Structures are given as C-alpha cells and as structure tokens.
Structure 1
Amino acid sequence: MTLEQLSYEALERRLAREKKARLAAEGLLEKKSLELFQANQDVAEQAELIGRERAVLGAVFDARPAALVLTNSGLEVERLNPVARRLFALPDGAAPGQSLPDLLSGSAGFLDWVRARAGAQPEIDDSTAEGFARQASGEEIPVRISCSLIGYNDLRLWIILDIRRHLAAEEEKKVLERSLVQAQKMEALGTLASGVAHEINTPIQYIGDNVSFLQEVCGAVGAFLGAVDGALAAEGEPVSREQLAATLAGKRAELDIDYLLEETPSAIAQSLHGLKQVASIVSAIREFSHPGDTEMTPVDLNAVIDTTLSVTRNSWKNIAEVEHELDPDLPGVLGHAGDLHQLVLNLIGNATDAIAERAPSGGGKIRISTGLERNNVVIRVQDNGTGIKDADRTRVFDPFFTTKAPGKGTGQGLAIVFKIVNVGHGGQISVDSTWGEGTTFTIRLPRSEG
C-alpha cells in the first residue's frame, strides 16, 4: 500500500510511532553519551591515580637505601635506582640492557644462584647469596643479594646490600671474642701461677743444691791437684815413689775425692733432668699463653693436651690422678691452637672441680683420650666427680649457668667450650653424665685435610 492510499489516521499513527522511536533513540544516545563521558572521567581519574602511584613508587624505588635493580626474565637490566648506580659506579642513563651477571662476580655457586632466577621457571625463594658487585675500575664490593618477582611483565626485583660494614663489624666481633678468650686464658694462668711457680721451684732447688755440690767438687779437685803439683815441685832430698803415693793418698782421703767423683755424674744427671723439666714447663706456658694465629692452621691435639696438663698439673695433682690415652697416629685438626688450649683447660678445670666437690681429700680420676672416628678427631674427658643432674644436663652449655655455689663459678667455662667447638671449629660436643658417678664430655672436630 502506498503512502497516498493510507488514511489520515494511519499516517498519524505511523508518525507517532516514528517520533516515539526517534525519542527513544535520542534518549539511548544521550544515556550512552553520559556513560561514555563518565567512563572517560573514570579513565582520566584512574590514569591520574596510576600516574601518582607510579610517581610514588618511582620515588620510593629511587629513595631506597638499598641498591634496587629491575631485570626481565633474561636478567637484562631494565632500571636501577641511584644507590645501585653508585654501587656499580655507573653514570646516569647507563646499564639498561646490560646483563646483571656481567655486573657481578664471585664464586661459581654465587653466579649459578643468580642465573637460576632467569627464564620462564625461575627458582625464586626467600634465600640470599653473597658475592661481589663489580665496578668498571675493577674494584669488587662485597654484597648480599635477594630476588623476587613483582607480578608485572615477568620482571624481577633484585635487592643488593653493600655488606662492607657488616663484614668489618663481624671481623671486629671475632677479634673481640678472641681477645676475651685470651684474657680468660691469661686469667687462668694467673690463677695457676702459684702452682706453676711451685712446679718450677722444685727442680730449681735441687739444681741449686747440685751446683753447690759441683762447686765443692771443683774446689776439692783443685786442692788435690795443687797438692800433686806441690809434691812434684818440692826441693830437697828426693822422696821415694812410695812416700809420694802415701802423701797423695792421705790428701785424697782428706778431701774425700773418691766420694765426690762417685757422686758427680749423678749430680750432673739430676741437674740436666731438672733443667729439662723447667724448660718443658716454660715452653708449655709460652705455648699456652700465645694468642695464636687469626687464620686456622693444622693443630696437633695431643700436643695441646700435653701442654695444658703441664701447665695445670699443680691444680689437679693433689685431687685426681690423670690418665691419658692419646692416639700416636692422630691426624691434626684445622683450628686455632689458642682456642683449643682454652677448650682443654676448661674441661680439665671442670673435671677437677667436680671431683673436688665430691672428694675434697683426693682420690679422683680424670681420663683423657683421643682417637679417630671416620673423618672426625675425637677427644673424651671423663671424671668420677659429682656428675650432672638430669634437669641440668640440657643447660650446662648455657652462658652464666652454673651449679656451683655463689662466687665459685661464672658459668662461662662450658659456654666457651661449646662456642669454640661448634661455632669456631665446626665440630660437636656432647655430655654423658650420671649424678653421683661422673661425667664424660665427647668432642668431635673435623680432621685436617693436610
């Protein structure tokens, strides 16, 4: 049907429908325009927020006191903060695109740790590694490094800490600890000084007596030789051989020459033995009191035990009998001789005190043995003292813990032993004790590879 054929009423209805459809379309267009405007506003706000957050994050990234480096999955540097640039001595604008491993150096294990964080399946965890940041000048700065994923574009964030001050502080701490051990060792020597003096005084006394005797021998022999010379040079009537022999025999008997000559070898032998004793004690004191090297060196534990027993003999000789069974083929251990002397000193002192507490009049026994178990050198110090109560056994190595009466102990002896063994030498110490019967300390130290 054509438009001319439509009635007026039909035309009005059609026009009304088209007007309604146009109004609906205009309303929809206005709604969509409003929605688009609002969406644009939201996008603008989000962009502004993202810009602000990016600026804040960038400021935080640049202001961090640690060196921060962003890399992609291939470990190529995307961004560094100013601290990282200074650490690697890089000018502004340099480094992006460089490989992070090229900026680092260190052991093969360290570089493998870094490279393991590359690729599609990186080994990202909470671990850290220590190596060096390498500068163009060749200087290498010790660093500790960690890595994490930041969840955007497969980037890695590396936190790199300059640990020069930390290492210096650790070294200073080690020096102080060694000074403390040396001071305690010298304090122990001071306590043992009177006993050491007594040990030296005894041989010195009989050396002095023998020297006086030898002086008497020299005087008598000189007088006898003078008598011989006088008799031979005498003027006047010649004397018979029998008369001369009788005269000299009388002089010899008067001076007791035969007795003096008979005793002289014994006096010389005793004096030499006494001098050897004194030299041994002095050598032991010198070795014991020496602070030792800061570097670890092979140490003969049997010699350490012998030296310490010589120095401490007067402290235990009236309280306990010491038996020692030392393996003559014992390999050395890599360690600090001074610390190992302190270790043995503290264990002997602890055993002596335990025996004295149980039997002050003496009769105790201390047994020290050494041997090899697999790759460990083993020392055992056993006593028949008071023993350790079950409740106290887990605390004996705690600093300042002591079961002695106030003023009798500081609780530092076994704590120092534990630190020397476990921390200083990578070994282990264990204690086996029965209350009222005695205690055995067992120390295992890694043998020297040399």
Structure 2
Amino acid sequence: MHPDLVAKYRHQRVPRYTSYPASPHFSPTVTASTYRGWLEKLDPASSLSLYLHVPFCRSMCWYCGCHTTVVRHADPVWDYVAALSSEIRHVAGLLPKGPVVRHIHFGGGTPTLMPPQALRGLMAELRSRFTIAPDAELAIEIDPRTLTAEMTTALGDTGFTRASLGVQSFDPVVQAAINRIQPVEMTALAIDGLRRAGIHAINLDLLYGLPMQTVESCVRTVETALNLSPDRLSIFGYAHMPGFKAHQSRINEAELPDADARIAQNAAIEETLLAAGYVRIGLDHFAKPDDPIALAAGNGGLRRNFQGYTTDDADALLGFGASAIGRVPQGYVANVLQVPAYMKAVEEFGVATARGYRMTLDDRLRATLIERLMCHFSVDMAEMAGQFDVTTDSIMPAEPALAALIADGVVELHGTRLVVPDPARPLVRSVAALFDAHLDPEGGRHSKAI
C-alpha cells in the first residue's frame, strides 16, 4: 500500500464488521422478554449455530481484547458451567421443534480450561436438548499452554472436528513483551495430540503489530507455523486500546510498530503464505485450497460473523454465556458481560440478555452489502437494490465520500459494481464504513483502520 494512503487512513477508526450494526449500537430496549419472544417465533425449518463463551484463563495475555477472567482453581468454572447448562435448557425449551444445529463453537477465554468432565457434560446437555446434524462442525478455541491429555481425549470422544490454537508469535522476545511464553514444541505437541484424537482440522491464530515485532520475526513465525501444516491461519492486527482493556496498558507503546511497519508485516505474512500455496480468504484468513472455507470463498458462500470468516450460513446464531452475542432473524441479542451478573440473570430469568438490536429492512440491506464487501471485496449495487426492492441510487454512498475513496484508489466503480482492488484490501473496512448508517464519526470505540 502506498505510504500516502497509510498516512491518510492510519488514524481512522472503523468497526471490524463482524456484525452490522456494530455492538456499541446495541440497546437495553432489547430485553430477556424480547429474546424469549424471538426464540418462540423461530421458523421450525431453521438451521442453527451455537456459540458458547467460556470466560476464563489461567493467566492474562497483555494483548487480549476478549472478555475473560483469570482463575486459579476449578470451582468458579464448575459454577459457571452449571449456569451455562441452565441457560441451554431454558433456551432450548423456548424453541419450536424442528431446527437443526449445523455449527457449534466454544470460544473464550480458554474453553479447554474447563475440567474434561465439564466439557463432556455440556456436550451431553447440548445433544439432549438440540437436534445436531451428523455432519455438524464442532469447533473449539485452545490455549496450547494449558491443554491436557485428558482434555484432548475428551474433545475427540465428544465429536469435535476443528480446533483453533492461539499462537500470536513464535518469537520469544515478542512473547515476553505480551506475557505469553509458548515454545514451538508445546504447540506442536498439542497439534499432534489433537490429530491423534481424530481432530484433523487445525487453525492457528497469529498477530502482527505486537510490541518488539519486526517483518523478519513475523516471517519466521509464519514459516514455523507452516511446518505444523495448519488447514487455516487467521492473521489479525493487534488493536491497542488500553482505555477499554486496562491490562493492555502493560504493553510499552514505544515498542509497538507504527502504521507503516504494520502494513509491511501484514504484506510479508501474506506473501509468505501465498507462496506456500495457501489461499487468501477475505481480509485476514488463509486456508489450504481444499479447505471448506476456501471452497466457500470461491463459490460465493463465504460468510462473516462474530467468530470472523466462516462457512456458517445458519439462519440463527444462539449465544450462551457471559458476553455472548447471538443473532436471530429479528435482530441481535447480547448477554451481560460480567460472570456474577450473568449467573444471577440466568438463575432469575433463564436467559441473561442485557441489550440487543432490532433490525430494520434498511439494516438488513446494509448488513448484507457490508458482509458482501468484507467477504468478496466487491458488490453490485443494482443487484443489492433488486434483492431488497429499492432503487440503486438510494443505496449508493454519499458522493463526496465515495469520490474521495475512488480518487485515492481505495475503491473502483465499474457501472454499478463497487470493487476494492487488491492493493487496497487492508482498507476494506473503510469502504464498508461508507454504508454504515450508524457510524460515529469520532469512532472512538473502534480499532484503527490500519
């Protein structure tokens, strides 16, 4: 990317667009009662995706932007799992008969910090309350530093098919700067155990833009990761927002790479992965050519949700646990953030809805348009207009803003088709923001565009 573009857009703050509208626009006017009503009206023919949030870790990584808490023993985890089970039972009891679950995802935090018996119990609960498709994808996020042989066995026994392992960087200097010491051998051992347990779909999560990170160390990390032959890699840019995550203040800002260095790191990572035969997926994912997500990207089936890029095209996403976010046809629902408040809400109301968003027709149009841009870097405005029965002119971005992006080479207009050219892909969120009717011009709650 040209240095002038980096300089121009480096301070712009825009959502990651894993949802539209972004979660800061959710409102407490969507209540537990609202959510119960939405669940009861779900089409029996719906397909479902389930997300379970486990907000516990053994130690705090200083870069982390997740909702998680450090625990030293299992008692709080068992109490939380009991609340999760209760929420699952209550939500399942509200649904009509018929919906089929096609995706289950455990995130965190560190879901594999649960005692293996707790995971087995939760999976038994899910199987007893929902109809789960035989070929459903069961995925879980893993911290290799705390993965035990007993948990690996439990994952295989309960039918998990995909595992995402946090790595971030294999550089010991960077690891020390983010409080996450994780030798390569530890990650390799975890992957070997998962594959022997029958979990062959392996994802690795890497970060660039970390303190003390260089282009050379990023490339070394990718080359080391490639030796482990992951099916997918997620390459995220670190978002330094200590005002929202206080532990990030432990990172020395003077050691963070600037916008030019971040762009160079991202480009070097991408070049290394493409040279190794991986396919670029959306903004920040890479996959082997025969991986389902690569096939979805090729045939137009790629989607984007709170877990990032996905093949999950379920009609409804049901979120369980503290801070979990769900989506049903009527809109979004978000659970309370803090674990004690979550557990109390489940005990009193069966669900823990704290806020949400009721979608309008205009929201649905913009959400579809933005997702198309984020996944495929182009969108035909006339096609979108026809799908939602509006005029093309009514959904075109404001002329001054669009003209400025065209002049910068960030977007091209071919008839009614908007295209983000390859060199400008890192700025696709800035293009998506053209269609965001809710965007705060100050953007203080969002990460930087670069």
With normalisation by structure 2, the TM-score equals 0.20
With normalisation by structure 1, the TM-score equals 0.20
Larger Rg: 1
By relative contact order (CA 8 Å, sep 6+), the higher-ranking structure is 2
Higher helix share: 1
